[in-house]
């Protein structure tokens, strides 16, 4: 299915930030059924991390500021929309990319220090961190979501490599569950 990839938009209702938060909550039961609940647990993320929505409201605002001014480290919050038979669009996936940023727990991994020290985002050959990649597992998206993550990864590769000229896109994923997530992410790259 072809997807429309668009920038998340800040609005008074925080529609896109709410979608991202709901997508995280919707995938928790799915992850539990395939043996991948260990890093996230079985409770909805928004109940365990009540500030999760605030994190994505801020990310959408940061991305909009970068889109309008092109100043500071590059930030994008992308939404993958599936086109419904009615012609309307339904959000089915999201990705957050941050230049000049790597999460603290990743930076603390000694075996990754050569990768994380390659440069700051925005500089030639810099590093971009794919902070979020999530697909909505709600019933409403069941027949429309397949391929959304791959479409988001393809889009981010074009933006980071072609438009920004960066040579490294870093993402981290859980290695448990016999490495199934890692194999999937490797396939996407």
> What's the pLDDT score for residue 145?
94
> What's the pLDDT score for residue 116?
64
Q: Into how many domains does the chain fold?
A: 1
> What's the pLDDT score for residue 67?
92
> What's the pLDDT score for residue 17?
96
pLDDT digits (tens, 9 = 90+) for 8-47: 999 999 999 999 999 999 988 888 888 777 777 788 878 8
- CATH number of the domain residue 148 falls in: 3.40.630.30
> What's the pLDDT score for residue 124?
47
State the residue range of the domain holding 117: 3-188
> What's the pLDDT score for residue 18?
96
> What's the pLDDT score for residue 99?
84
The 3-class secondary structure across 44-106, one letter per residue, is: CHHHHCCCHHHHHHHHHHHHHHHHHHCCCCCEEEEEEEEECCCCCEEEEEEEEEEECCCCHHH
Q: What is the pTM of this model?
A: 0.84
> What's the pLDDT score for residue 173?
63
Q: What is the distance between the alpha carbons of residues 124 and 19, in angstroms, rounded to a whole number?
A: 33
Positions of the chain with pLDDT under 50: 119-124, 184-189
**In a 3-state reduction of DSSP, which class is residue 124?**
coil
Helix axes 52-69, 15-33, angle to 10 degrees: 130
Strands 127-135 and 75-83: unpaired
> What's the pLDDT score for residue 174?
57
> What's the pLDDT score for residue 47?
82
CA atoms lying within 13 Å on the CB side of residue 147: 10
Say if residues 14 and 57 touch (Cβ distance below 8 Å): yes
> What's the pLDDT score for residue 68?
94
Structure tokens at 87: 């012609």
Residues in the chain: 189
């Amino acid at each position: 299915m072809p997807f429309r990839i668009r920038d998340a938009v800040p609005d008074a209702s925080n529609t896109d930030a709410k979608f991202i938060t709901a997508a995280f909550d919707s995938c928790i039961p799915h992850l539990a059924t395939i043996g991948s609940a260990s890093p996230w647990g079985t409770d909805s993320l928004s109940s365990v991390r009540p500030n999760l929505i605030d994190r994505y409201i801020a990310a959408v605002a940061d991305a909009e500021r970068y889109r309008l001014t092109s100043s500071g480290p590059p930030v994008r919050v992308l939404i993958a929309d599936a086109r419904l038979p009615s012609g309307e669009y339904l959000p089915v996936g999201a990705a957050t990319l941050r230049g000049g940023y790597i999460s603290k727990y990743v930076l603390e991994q000694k075996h990754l220090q050569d990768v994380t020290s390659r440069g700051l985002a925005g500089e030639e050959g810099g590093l971009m961190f794919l902070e979020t990649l999530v697909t909505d597992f709600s019933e409403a998206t069941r027949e429309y979501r397949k391929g959304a993550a791959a479409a988001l990864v393809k889009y981010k590769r074009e933006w980071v490599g072609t438009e920004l000229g960066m040579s490294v896109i870093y993402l981290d994923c859980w290695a448990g569950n016999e490495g199934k997530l890692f194999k999937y992410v490797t396939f996407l790259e």
